[in-house]
A = this chain, B = another copy of it.
Amino acid sequence: MEHWTRIDHSITVQEAVDFVQSPASGGIVTFTGTVRNQTQQRPVLKLFFECYEPMALLEMEKIVRAAKEKWPVQRMAILHVKGEKLPGEVVVVIAVAAAHRAAAFEACQFAIDTLKETVPIWKKEFFEDGEVWVAAHP
């Protein structure tokens, strides 16, 4: 298996690196997204992630295929959480292994940029005085 896509309650950067690492790869680049403790100066109490899980996994696989067509990358992992998350907790991890580090950097950045645009996952922010689905309104 050359790639790994997963949606779960808890994920770590270490498991993503362990998956993509191999004695043939020279460099691994990861992106880890965490819950910020505020949005525009308003303290965030928690987040809730809702996923259209089967389609989200398919879209993650499309990202892997597109990245492998564009860059000479070896193994990739795309992990995303679902459910409730507190500030500081990990919500997304992308790991890319390649023989040459420039390809790994470019493919990892492409993967997180594309994930935010195409993978059906929604985030609700909870504040002291209310809650909002992020980016829903202009």
A residues near B (Cβ < 8 Å) are 12-14, 17, 21-38, 87-88, 99, 101-102, 104-105, 108-109, 112
Which chain B positions have C-beta within 8 A of A28?
13, 30-34
Number of this chain's copies in the assembly equals: 2
Q: Is the interface of A mostly helix, strand, loop or mixed?
A: mixed
Verify A32–B27 contact, CB threshold 8 A: yes
Q: A13-B14, A108-B105, A112-B101 are in contact. Are A29 and B29 (CB under 8 A)?
A: yes
| A30 nearest CB neighbor, chain B only | B30
Q: A26-B34, A27-B33 are in contact. Are A21 and B108 (CB under 8 A)?
A: no
Q: A28-B32, A108-B29 are in contact. Are A37 and B23 (CB under 8 A)?
A: yes
